[in-house]
Structure 1
Amino acid sequence: MKTTSAILAGTAAILLLGAVLGRAEEPCFDQQDLYEGPENRIPNVVVAADGSVLALARAGRLVRRSEDGGKTFSPAQEVGHDANGSAMVDTETGDVMVVNSARSHLWRSGDHGKTWRREGIVVKPNPLGHGGAGAVPVQTTCSESGLTLQFGKHKGRLIMPARVQPPRGNNDQEWWPYNYNTAIYSDDRGQTWQTSAPVQSGTGEGTLAEVSTGSIYYNSRSHMSVDHRRQIAWSHDGGAMWVDWQVTTDLFEIGEPFYFKYGTKPSYGCNAGLIRLPSAVTDGKDVLLFSAPDNPGKSRHRMTVFVSYDQGLTWPVKRLVNEGLSAYSSLAAAPDGTIYLLFERGEQKLYDRMALARFNLAWVTAAAK
């Protein structure tokens, strides 16, 4: 019965694929290295309001800009010496921000990433007391880019995935069971941020996507998994509360067999990328893309992009981007549907380089036809 259900789901996905693509589109793909060296880890990629592609590294401290759709990029420039956070675009104002919630500041650009200024922010705690001034910090560093909500009563709200690491705010393994993902959100264009309720414990480094109903899908790295499945949750109130906790059926974590010194099973997982494609190129349908190494329970290899047509419940289509060493990644999409994947890769060592792959949905789904 399970096999029959899987076949039916796959067939439905392929039929939906034809409807989503609508007009004929030729598959396209190219890739280039943008950063070198292990010091330039932690990718974020966003598309600014003017179409500029911003490829950020070193946890938001460096940026390279493209004004021609990702064909060529400027030399790396510093965003700020203490940016150390994740990026987002405020689609209401056009501002780009790198938010360091753990240190209560952000770096803002009003000219699509050309220049940056530092601003203090207020971060308010969640009901557990985490995230406020003097409390265990909530941090955006190493999570996927944030977004501006586009649907429902909270339209215009800024929201970013984040995590909390009680009781000390660090990554000591003995406290992993108490770590959890969360979100921070702002209704005043980034001046004040509220820390949301937790998602599952044992998680860290999250990703968010809003769907057309106004609900928000949360996909989390799992530090404590024994079956290598990523964990998911939803918010139906603009990101304040996360409910419907479960594990994915199609998305698996890589493993680090001896990383977790208190266990005997591979665990630890990996950061990932997640986006919803623009409605204009999907006829308003919810098409989500997810990126991560596809090597369940094993080492960080095989960077892969997955596609979901049912708001993140199943991921029936996938395509390999990089066979070799692969780790953290981030996804963005331009209004015309061009997809940007910024990811860590290696030839001799894992974090030798950071590459930008540029492609379209037709390229990802070509393997399903």
Structure 2
Amino acid sequence: MRYAFLTCLLSLQVFAAEPAIEKLDLFAGGEGGSALYRIPGIVVTTKGTVLAYSEARRKAGSDWGEIEVHLRRSTDGGKTWSAPQHIAHSGERIEGNPHKHDEEGAKEQTVNNPVAIVDRDGKTIHFLYCINYARCFYMRSTDDGLTFSKPVEITSAFEAFRPKCPWNVLATGPGHGIQIKSGRLVVPVWLAYGKKPGDHAPSMAGTIYSADGGTTWKAGEIPLPNEGELKNPNETSVAELSDGRVMLNTRSVSKVSRRLVTTSADGATGWSKPVFDDALWEPICMGGLVAYPKKPGTLIFSNPHSLEVDAEGKPIPGGRGKRRNLSIKISYDDGRTWPVNRTLEEGPSAYSDLAVLPDGTILCFYERDKRLTVARFNLEWLTASHPAQPGSAP
């Protein structure tokens, strides 16, 4: 009996993982000929290769200007990385910046909002991006992200949104899209219809999808309109739940300062009534969302989580637009509750995206001041010590 007990104890000691986290800067402003890198996205291919990509803002930090998309690859789980590669836009230049009126500005090309999707076919990575917030393009890689096909314009897919949203700005994601169980590719999008060209508000959010492996794209419904309590929904993250439903988790400027959530059986139609998730604060910033494959029903979420205390001692959002204290949350019930919250980055931190390695290691690629950093951590790190309850200060 004693021998069996010791054997069991030793087995637990061997297989019990210790909390672990590592951080590595992948892009830094002022390097690689770019003033600033922003808008991170990250995916893990079926071969286990990590692709981390972002906007490379060549001259300044503005959303508008001369912007490219750069990518780095890792074949060892994010420990070492290839040199940055300029992957978009590789077609004919499409110049014209509506926020610039001088000769130099008119010649700028803004390549924005990159989104990758890993196909389960084992060979294809789909990649979407926009140009000048006015046109959308699609390309693919069949060699694990080493090279990409010539871009094909798919802006026509957005025309079906016009009866409900007469857009003059379009954008994908940002972050990553997903392939759901049916094989359909789903990409969150947001649309703006301001009076001036290039205005990012007012806005709505929805999805586009492909049922033929990225060859053609169609518009879904708009489940997140600019109506009632919903104020300017825009940048959206997506995940497939354990029962096959597709969840959208959306940024807005709504007064309640909470993330918007809606679900659909197919990622395009029949969306549930959007609700504000009381556990997920909204600092008016893009957030990351990913399903954790090893534990069905488990979701990981990331965004700035800065709280203060009101006159009654209750936690409240620490100022609208306050981008710091990037935190990671976990749900074990498809997003109904979020019992774990842990701070990843206490200082200035903003946009983030999430991915999961085959061994269960979680990757968070995020904006840290003027750098883009990838953090590698395990579930043991995320759930260590005393996990905060939803709505409590970290």
CA deviations over 1:234-278 (Å, ceiling 9, x no partner): 112332232231000111112xxxxxxxxxxxxxx0001000011
Q: 1:275 aligns with which of 272, 278, 290?
A: 290
Taking a change above 3 Å as real, the CA distance of residues 56 and 250 of structure 1, as seen in their structure-2 partners, is same
Which residues in structure 2 correspond to 1:327-338 (within 5 Å)?
Answer: 327-338=350-361
Matching residue of 1:40: 37
Structure 1 residue 135 displacement after superposition: 6.4
Partners of 2:288 and 2:196 in 1: CA distance:
24
Give 1:121 shift: 4.4
Q: Does 1:129 align with 2:144?
A: no
CA deviation after TM superposition for structure 1 residue 125, in Å: 4.2
Specify the SS of the correspondent of 1:244.
Answer: coil
Partner of 1:198: 222
Alignment equivalent of 1:139, drawn from 168, 171, 174: 171
* Matched ranges for 1:18-97 at <5 A: 24-37=16-29, 39-58=36-55, 61-81=69-89, 84=112, 85-97=114-126
Q: Paired residue for 2:305?
A: 294
Q: Post-superposition shift, 1:339?
A: 0.8
Alpha carbons 1:131, 1:195 under 8 Å: kept: no
**2:131 matches 1:113:** no
Per the TM alignment, residue 127 of structure 1 is displaced from its structure 2 partner at its CA by 5.5
CA contact (8 A) 2:39 2:175 kept: no
Structure 1 residue 287: Cα displacement: 0.3
Query: Where do 1:243-322 residues align within 5 Å?
Result: 243-254=272-283, 269-278=284-293, 281-282=294-295, 285-295=296-306, 296-298=317-319, 299-322=322-345
* Helix, strand or coil at the partner of 2:384: helix
Change (3 A) 1:119 1:171: closer
Letter in 1 for 2:292: L
Residues 109-161 of structure 1, C-alpha deviation per residue, up to 9 Å, x if partnerless? 111111112231444347643699x9646420x522001102xxxx1110011
For 1:252 and 1:65, how far apart are their aligned partners in 2?
32
Q: Structure 1: any 5+ residue segments left out of the alignment? A: 1-22, 255-268, 347-351
CA contact (8 A) 2:22 2:377 kept: yes
1:167 positional shift: 5.1
Q: 2:349 aligns with which of 295, 307, 326?
A: 326
Change (3 A) 1:286 1:126: farther
The residue number in structure 2 matching 1:355 is 373
Give the aligned partner of residue 7 of structure 1. Answer: none
Alignment of 1:206-221 (within 5 A): 206-221=236-251
**Counterpart Cα distance in 1 of 2:277 and 2:196:** 28
The answer to whether the Cα contact below 8 Å between 2:304 and 2:327 also exists between their aligned partners in 1 is: yes
8 Å Cα contact 2:169/2:199 also seen in 1: no
Structure 1 pair 128/76, CA: closer, same or farther in 2 (3 Å)? Answer: closer
Write out per-residue CA displacement over residues 8-48 of structure 1, whole angstroms, 9 at most, x where no aligned residue: xxxxxxxxxxxxxxx73322110011100152111000101
TM-score, with structure 2 as normaliser: 0.74
User: Secondary structure of the equivalent of 1:322?
Assistant: strand
Could you tell me how far apart the structure 2 residues matched to 1:160 and 1:96 are?
13
Q: 1:180, 1:203 within 8 Å by CA — same for their partners in 2?
A: yes
Q: For residue 94 of structure 1, give the secondary structure of its aligned residue in structure 2.
A: coil
The answer as to whether partners of 2:219 and 2:268 remain within 8 angstroms in 1 is: no
Amino acid at match of 2:246: I
2:364 to 334, 341, 349: 341
Q: Which residue number corresponds to residue 166 of structure 1?
A: 193
Larger Rg: 2
Backbone CA RMSD of aligned residues: 2.4
The answer as to whether partners of 2:127 and 2:138 remain within 8 angstroms in 1 is: yes
Maintained 8 Å contact 2:291/2:300: yes
Structure 2 equivalent of residue 226 of structure 1: 255
SS in 2 for 1:362: helix
Counterpart CA distance in 1 for 2:276 and 2:217 is: 28
Which residue in 2 is equivalent to 1:6?
A: none
Unaligned 5+ segments in structure 2 are 1-14, 30-34, 57-67, 91-110, 227-231, 307-316, 388-394
**Deviation per residue, 1:211-242 (Å, 9 max, x gap):** 121111111001x2222111111112332232
Q: Is the 8 A contact 1:130 1:138 kept in 2?
A: no
Q: 1:290 to 1:90 in 2, by over 3 A?
A: same
- Checking the alignment, whether the CA contact within 8 Å between 2:123 and 2:142 is kept in structure 1 is yes
Q: Distance in 2 between matches of 1:80 and 1:184?
A: 20
User: Could you say if the C-alpha distance between residues 171 and 329 of structure 1 is closer, same or farther in structure 2, counting changes exceeding 3 Å?
Assistant: farther
Mark the CA change 1:301 to 1:104 in structure 2 (over 3 Å): closer, same or farther.
closer
CA pair 125-105 structure 1, distance change in 2 beyond 3 A: closer
